[in-house]
Structure 1
């Protein structure tokens, strides 16, 4: 639960966005750590830009009900068996700093964070890919337990492919994002499968219609793509 008196909407708004990790259980990291929160998901990732090293990532569903925050792990590259673990989260915060305490029956940890952005923008939110172009035609994807979620805050993005039922993690990538004049521009700062992608800049066209995001352009390999992402 939160340490100050906020409504559910106020608390969600205060938590959403991108956060820089200062300490975990009082210890500073040897590399960068970033936490992204856009309801109903939270992703936490550690990486080193200079060495192009992906250290690890964990994330899952976050729910804010009144003054209580709950979080359920849906992927964890450090500990696969942690998937499915439920945590109660206590938040103490001001505008630019927050302390989050995660507690479950068998695990607990505390993060001290400073704000990177407030999670504002056309594409701010958590999105799931639901349609993609194949052979020149848009086709709905069969939605099962495996999912690809892309989270966007005011200045950062991260996509993750995972299956919480099988506890399988398939990959992730992320970094900085800029939206301008109908263009979605991303600068990759970590990529779990291929560190050579780090440092790449990609630009796409985007349109938002209700809870649908139409994403089109050329992939990192130069092939034309068009995808529909649905807000979660």
Structure 2
């Protein structure tokens, strides 16, 4: 009888663990959130994207356009804290942060983070589109069997699309070197992909520009063609991120 009960107990324990995990992650539902604050007479925007166990936080000024910082990586919940293992941190040379613990709580749909001050992030309305998700740059097109950059490569360019908001980030996970980022709103429909730039770390003057591209999904790849922010022709292939 005891031997027969052991698998049953293991099954119960597994169910409890899965239930607990679901409860924890239910506290930080996948969404895009915004918080705005006034600092030295400047209106500062904080944009937060959470997708499962992935988290990005970007700070910028809209008028005049000024990029401030971005950081992101994998997130877990421990007690009442978000525990972040950062993949990128634009301020790494100054703060040396690779991990971060942020006390948090929820009030209705709002997410309240205790960073330097209490920050109440409000979610935006859900908007599902065909290219939603996290993508990693794989190679230049056309797809003729050339070498691809795989997920294990520390040199990454991530494009994160959720709820009508996009952000690309270029970085190195080994050295924490940050190469650049840009983002804003986007639309993807019927093979047409459009970006409206709202922040750009390399060149604030590019904020306000609208870029039009064509896209095609082939197997698990996103084939992205058009002209880049400098007006030069481009063909990129992006792979859906698995981890």
Q: TM-score under structure 2 normalisation?
A: 0.74
1:213–1:39 Cα change, 3 Å: farther
1:179 aligns with 2:192: no
Secondary structure at the counterpart of residue 121 of structure 1:
coil
Q: Distance in 2 between matches of 1:194 and 1:11?
A: 38
Query: 2:200 — aligned with what?
Result: 191
Deviations for 1:141-162, whole angstroms, at most 9, x for unmatched residues?
A: 3442121111101211111111
**1:1-232 alignment to 2 at 5 Å?**
7=22, 11=26, 15-22=29-36, 30-63=43-76, 70-80=83-93, 81-87=95-101, 90-95=104-109, 97-101=110-114, 111-118=119-126, 120-133=128-141, 139-143=146-150, 144-232=153-241
Which structure has more RCO (C-alpha within 8 Å, separation ≥ 6)?
1
Shift of 1:23: 6.0
Shift of 1:7: 2.5
Unaligned runs of 5+ in 2: 1-19
Shift of 1:109: 6.7
As a proportion of its length, which structure holds more helix? Answer: 2
Q: Which runs of 4+ in 1 moved over 4 A?
A: 88-91
Secondary structure at the counterpart of residue 118 of structure 1:
coil
Q: Distance in 1 between matches of 2:127 and 2:133?
A: 8
As a proportion of its length, which structure holds more strand? Answer: 1
Shift of 1:30: 3.3
Q: Distance in 2 between matches of 1:44 and 1:221?
A: 26
Deviations for 1:109-147, whole angstroms, at most 9, x for unmatched residues?
A: 75320012436321111111112127x956333442121
Unaligned runs of 5+ in 1: 103-107
Query: 1:105 — aligned with what?
Result: none
1:83–1:148 Cα change, 3 Å: farther
RMSD: 3.3
1:69–1:45 Cα change, 3 Å: closer
Q: Which has the larger radius of gyration?
A: 2
Indicate if the aligned counterparts of 2:166 and 2:185 stay in contact, CA closer than 8 A.
Answer: yes
Shift of 1:91: 4.2
